[in-house]
Amino acid sequence: MDNQNIQDSNLAQIKQFPDKNLFCIEYPGIVNNSEKAIATLGGPQKLSQIVNNPTESAIELNFDPEHADISPILGEPVSTKNLLLKISRKVKKYSDGTIEELDDEYNNWNVNVVGLVDKTIRFRGLSNLQYSLKPNDEIFDFVNKSKTLEGISGDYLLNVADKIKNSYNKNTSIPLPITIPSNFPLLYNYKQSAVMKETLVNKNNVLVPVVELLQKNSSTKYEIIKATFEQPEYPKVHPGGPEIHPEFPNMELYKFFKFEEKPIWFRSSLEALIPPEISDNIDIRRACFSKVAFYMDSGPWKDLWIKFGYNPLSTKKSYIYQSINVRKPILKEQDIAKTELTTGAVLTNRKANLDILENQINSEVNGETLNIFNDDQSEMTENVDNQTVTKSRYHIDLLGSEYGIVFGTMQLCDIKVKKIEKILQYPEILQDSCTKKSGWIRNSVLEHIKLLIKEILEKALEKDIALKNTMNARSLAQLNSQNINTKEIDVESLFNSNTFNENEPTLTLNDTDNEDE
């Protein structure tokens, strides 16, 4: 026998799938009589409807079809791709009914595919509290006769009370109706626990079902250290040590976080610094920076991650890492619909009680220009509905990536608006003590910066809404032919103005600007 024949003899026998589709019912019970079991499911006619009708939602299983008061349980038809196998081998049968198995050496198991099971009924519901009276129960007999008024005579009514009294404790008692909350079946959508598995274990030559707990997938455990603004000391090192995973045996691998450049970060910014080749597991990624930084739960650095050993309350230089939050305005539908390109985006209802900015902040320094952005006023293009739309770098979608200002939470050190950068350079904006509300920066200054950011974002948002409304009303060709002035809502002027205009909210710096007394 050559090598090819030896290899072929070691291969399993190729089986042909018969062209037969089967319907399977996972019956929640022991079936001794198939006809009675089919009757509990509604009979052959009901099963035919389930097989032939793909929209059939559920099938009812009545363990006692004769009693309509017993609530059924529901079985749900699901699509499956299972095979029904017939496994057999030869045995010796004797006339007295005994069976003798042949030696395994000369008697192999034969496995044949009977058909493909493409639909299965599975019962994952729970039966309601049910009860059934015995047919000879006096109460049960009285209730049935009362429904039809058959067999109820004068003598029966005279004796029925005595019969019920004498049958007390001899038959099943009727439970209180309140114990049955509903009279119709419910689909509970019960599913077996994903961490539990039922297996058969051989005990004394008997297969016994045993439920075992599966081992959970190993995941990297990490502990996030949190700190509050009020606590006297901030953590200097993670209590669990540097080792968190075999892939990260020492702290040298965490240098990609760049905490040496900036000691305080957003979580999303830290995750963006992790090299993608290290791991895509979110637990491992977060476990990495939980070993080198702690989470600030309150104060001016709320929701930020601070490097272990760094105390922002001990140095005024940490003011530049403070967070600032600007909420997106809620626009009414009628206001959005009326917004057009010819409408000026004026910030109305400005109620902030801010003072006039001192001359040393309003004036230019050494003749320097106060242009908010660089001279490179590049634009981006985008294809919308097969039309090329030019996006200015002042577009609402680009302000976050280009200039670090968004609706939401920002860090002052990430803001690239020149006017705000100039304000942050003056030492007069700082106060002697760090407060929970505004940190090292005077509250009036922080509110002024927030209002400047809000004005830029709201004008950019209004310009974007106006552009979308006009694009919906007219084609791009009509816009070009009519030469509509898209600069009337002038976001660019907010960035490139050389001075603070007289209508702009300004503030003053004084020694009494402390809001957290």
pLDDT at 15: 72
CA-to-CA distance for 312 and 306, rounded, in angstroms? 8
Give the position of tokens 């077996």.
192
Question: How distant is the alpha carbon of residue 481 from its chain centre?
Answer: 48
Give the position of tokens 């995941």.
219
Sign of dihedral through CA atoms 466, 467, 471, 477?
A: positive
Q: What does residue 506 show for φ and ψ, rounded to 5 degrees?
A: -125, 175
Measuring CA to CA, which residue among 476, 488, 509 is closest to residue 354? 509
76 with 121: CB under 8 angstroms? yes
CA-to-CA distance for 260 and 237, rounded, in angstroms? 16
CA-to-CA distance for 323 and 127, rounded, in angstroms? 56
Helices (H), 227-291: 267-273, 282-290
pLDDT at 341: 35
CA-to-CA distance for 313 and 230, rounded, in angstroms? 10
Sequence ranges of the domains in the chain: 16-122, 138-174, 226-314, 323-496
Full 3-state SS string of 72-131: CEEEEEEEEEEEEEEEECCEEECCCCCEEECCCCCCCCEEEEEEEEEEEEECCCCCCCCC
CA-to-CA distance for 473 and 357, rounded, in angstroms? 43
Amino acid at 176: L
Give the count of beta carbons closer than 10 Å to the beta carbon of residue 31: 12
Return left, alpha or beta for 386; rule: phi > 0 is left, psi -120 to 50 is alpha, else beta. left
Amino acid at 216: K
Amino acid at 316: K
DSSP β-bridge partners for residue 59: 75
pLDDT at 301: 92
Q: What does residue 60 show for φ and ψ, rounded to 5 degrees?
A: -95, 140
Give 399-407 contacts, CB < 8 A, sequence gap 24+.
399/456, 399/457, 399/460, 403/373, 405/326, 405/453, 405/456, 405/457, 406/326, 406/457, 407/326, 407/327, 407/328, 407/457
pLDDT at 128: 56
CA-to-CA distance for 178 and 171, rounded, in angstroms? 21
The size of the chain, in residues, is 517
Q: Per-residue pLDDT for the chain (517 aa), expressed as one digit of tens each?
A: 555 555 566 677 777 788 888 889 998 888 899 999 999 888 888 888 888 877 766 788 888 777 766 677 888 888 888 989 998 888 888 888 788 877 766 677 888 889 999 888 888 765 655 555 555 677 777 777 777 777 777 777 777 878 777 776 665 555 544 444 455 555 556 666 777 777 788 888 888 888 777 665 555 566 788 889 988 888 888 776 655 555 555 555 567 778 878 889 888 888 777 776 665 667 677 777 787 888 998 899 988 999 888 999 988 889 999 988 888 766 544 444 444 433 233 222 222 222 333 333 443 333 333 333 333 343 444 444 444 445 555 566 677 777 888 888 888 888 888 888 888 888 888 998 999 888 999 888 888 888 888 888 888 777 766 666 555 555 444 544 544 443 344 445 555 554 445 445 555 554 445 444 3
DSSP β-bridge partners for residue 367: none
Could you confirm whether domain 16-122 is CATH 3.30.200.160? yes
427 with 445: CB under 8 angstroms? no
Rounded to the nearest 10°, the torsion over CA 477, 480, 484, 490 is: 110
